[in-house]
Amino acid sequence: TLSKPVLGIESSCDETGVAVYAAGRGLLAHRLYSQVRLHAAYGGVVPELASRDHVRKLLPLARETLAAAGVGLRELGGVAYTAGPGLVGALLVGAACARTLAWALEVPAIGVHHMEGHLLAPLLEPDPPAPPFVALLVSGGHSMLVHVAGIGRYRLLGDTLDDAAGEAFDKTAKLMGLPYPGGPALARLAEQGRAGVYRFARPMTDRPGLDFSFSGLKTQVLLAWQASDRSEQTRADIARAFEEAIVETLTIKCRRALAATGAHTLVIAGGVGANRRLREQLAEAGAREGFRACFPRLEFCTDNGAMIALAGALRLAAGQHADAAIRVFPRWEL
């Protein structure tokens, strides 16, 4: 059934994302503005600067996105926004904007969990996976395995005990002197690394369970880097071994989660889902072992408005919406 388009707004961290999604028609348009250059000089996201930049960029970006979608403001059936988790000031910009728009347009507004957005991002692709499936959520803030029985029916199977996978990429990049944002830079460097020069442990794969721990890897890398000749080739070799350790660990746990739940579909989401080696290894494991591995396109692995518009549209279609008070949840369990 065709339904009215939903505007989605993402502003939980350092990306301003806006999209228009309509059930039955799919994604009509999406736009992203990244603040990465703004924060690069500080070596990380500065929350106050992030909030101010969302204020500057959000409405122009929404206008541009609606124009690209060919949708007038008054044709909208609802407004979805990321209500958490994330930086509280940044979240409040998106929430205030979305709720005010919805109030003025007399349509419902819905606050979406950022990780639910990531989790559902693979549904934006052609031939989308249908629940039940297992989702690997790997971002800068989370490393989780979740069983998805249906929209809104999520069961946590495993979580990180310390650093998230993306955080491990970022911190490891930083300690080898790579510029912010480190994760993607480290992954690029790993492409130049030689196989077998270094080898790091696959944390917590030697015992049963679906939890992760990545902080020890960081220490192993630090020790290896300090004891090395610190040449470019060595840095690439270490980057490669680090990436292999993370990717193999994630692959082992995904296979375990599929076996434990009896699911035949694996969904990968979140920024680390953009990692080429991870995509290849999980696709290969799936071909070998008979499960389907579904990834969002690269630009929908990292933060974006499309996943929020989609998650919001699904929840609004299920009759959910928020009341008039503007609330955000900087810490919020899925």
Using CB under 6 A as the binding rule, the residues of this chain from 185 to 244 that contact ligand KG4 are: 187
- 11 lies in the site for ligand KG4, by CB under 6 A: no
Using CB under 5 A as the binding rule, the residues of this chain from 265 to 324 that contact Zn ion are: 303
- 11 lies in the site for Zn ion, by CB under 5 A: no
Buried b (16+ CB within 10 A) or exposed e, 1-30: eeeebbbbbbbbbbbbbbbbbbbeeebbbb
Find the binder of ligand KG4 among 166, 193, 296, 312 (CB under 6 A): 166
DSSP letter for 272, please: G
- Contact (Cβ atoms closer than 8 angstroms) between residue 114 and residue 85: yes
86 burial via Cβ count (<10 Å: 0-12, 13-18, 19+)? buried
User: Cα separation of 265 and 283, whole Å?
Assistant: 11
Nearest to 211 by CA among 255, 157, 167, 168: 157
- 296 lies in the site for ligand KG4, by CB under 6 A: no
Binding mask 124-143 for ligand KG4 (x = CB under 6 A): ---------------xxx--
- 139 lies in the site for Zn ion, by CB under 5 A: yes
Element (H, E) at 34: strand 26-34
Minimal CB distance to ligand KG4: which residue? Answer: 183
Which window, 19-27, 56-64, 72-80, 272-280, contacts ligand KG4 (CB under 6 A)?
Answer: 272-280
Find the binder of ligand KG4 among 184, 193, 203, 312 (CB under 6 A): 184
Buried b (16+ CB within 10 A) or exposed e, 164-183: bbbbbbbbbbbebebebbbb
Strand order in the sheet with 143-150: 153-158, 143-150, 133-138, 265-269, 292-294
CA 93 to mean position of chain CA atoms: 20
Using CB under 6 A as the binding rule, the residues of this chain from 73 to 112 that contact ligand KG4 are: none
Q: Which is nearer to ligand KG4, 66 or 120 (CB)?
A: 120
72 burial via Cβ count (<10 Å: 0-12, 13-18, 19+)? exposed
Using CB under 5 A as the binding rule, the residues of this chain from 36 to 75 that contact Zn ion are: none
Name which of ligand KG4, Zn ion, none residue 170 binds, using a CB cut-off of 5 to 8 Å depending on partner kind.
Answer: ligand KG4
User: Is residue 275 part of an annotated ligand binding site?
Assistant: yes
Per the annotation, binding residues for Fe cation are 114, 118, 303
Per the annotation, binding residues are 114, 118, 137-141, 170, 183, 275, 303
- Contact residues: ligand KG4, CB under 6 A: 139-141, 166-167, 169-170, 181, 183-184, 187, 270-272, 274-275, 302-303
Per the annotation, binding residues for substrate are 137-141, 170, 183, 275
